[in-house]
Structure 1
Amino acid sequence: MAKPAKSDRQAKIDAIRKQQKGADKRRGYAIVAVCGVIAAAIIAVPLYGIISDEVASSQYSSLAIDEIGAPADVCGEVTTEPAADSGTHVPQEQQVTYDTSPPAFGPHWNIAGVAPVSGAREFYTADDRPEIEALVHNQEHGYTVLWYDETIADDDEALGEVRGIAEKFSDESNRRNAFIAAPWTSEDGDAFPDGQHVAMTHWSAGGAGETDTANQVGVWQYCSEPSGAAVEEFVTEYPQQDSPEPNAFL
């Protein structure tokens, strides 16, 4: 059998090469497309979070605090117990075991979880929350802390209400606006009482201007869901100046 002419062989080779180039080009386009999808996804995830946060914030910006969330009667009675350990600092690397969930007073780090300066925040998630020992220090200086559990954290609407309430305290020029909303997780300690998913705590001096440490109390109020009306009543009853060290405002 006669061998194919050289021109025929070259034509076949050229055809094969052309097919390979086409396949390589299509493969390159596919890789670029996949990379584009991955990059878009990487960008979209945090962007979605930012947009969601902005939407949640704007949803409540025009409302008064007592219009956010449930009415005040979703919260139980305010309870207190004698407080101690004002000024008791432990090393920053030391974790403290508190007797209550969450704590309203006790030994703490000599650092704050947040300070009322430009850019300070009133709302935290489990990803960025300051350590509890630092938040207790905030309470010593008059902060009210609203703690929300994992049930609230997993509920977008309820979490948005907590965020909306917290942002009502963003006016750093008002010393009364010492407020933090932070998560309480199963790793932090015991769960809240049955059916309760929000807790407000304050370290009270026993009244604004009180200096006798024997009069200090820890203050708690538990709620089944977020209530801006209850928060407003709580911080009015227990303002920043009613704390062991109100003038060392963080």
Structure 2
Amino acid sequence: MQLLISLFMALPSFASTQALDNSTCQDRVERGGSIQVQMRPTGNGDCFVSVSDYKKDSMFYRGYVFAADGNLMVFNSFGAGPVSETTGAREFYTFPRRFKYPSFTWDQEQRVLKVVSTTGDEYYFDFDSAQLKGQSKAEVYVAPEIAKGNAGGVEIKNYKGLILDAGFKMGSAPTSNPRGKVKFTDEVGKTCELTVGDIFSYREDGDPYVKFSDKNLASFLKKKCSKLKFPTL
């Protein structure tokens, strides 16, 4: 969680209408409207794009982090205090992953920030609220309140592809617990539940990562979740 918190505290440069392509990850921080967006490469070859409200005036807020492995983490802060009691995260993963890194660009005319995930999905963030307002391949519901009881406050429904929902966890990423449950849902709504450990491995620092390539994941799910439809690779 400390890495996530640091992503939301970075200093800005400027807002640009030029997007980096999905094969490039450069350390950059920009602001537009109420949005602060940061792209950050890591030492292990990952790349994060974080979106937050830099005009927030309290420790109650919601931010978003996109990663190269198809992860969208919805990060919640519930005030000051121990991380285990005042932070929480909801995680979604989408497949197949078609690009190396997530990317972003500003749409000044529509007053949105557009983040493109490694799956190629577009996520739209409102200039004024800095909150997620839509997604190109799904219906998105965002709760107006920041509360421990609403599972991060974001729901993604009717996704036109394969999505993994790892649920919500206080104090750390849901995928940090290998015994936790994850749920796959395909484009026609069929579901399959597995454990975190079935899908994720862990680096030396404890960070989880998807242990399958898309091709190998499709083969694995064909055996474990035969009713699921894996999108065309």
> Where on the TM-score scale, by shorter chain, does this alignment land: which range?
under 0.3
From the two aligned structures, give the one with the greater helix fraction.
1
Q: Which structure has the larger Rg over C-alpha atoms?
A: 1
Per the normalisation by structure 2, the TM-score is 0.26
The alignment's TM-score, normalised by the length of structure 1, stands at 0.24
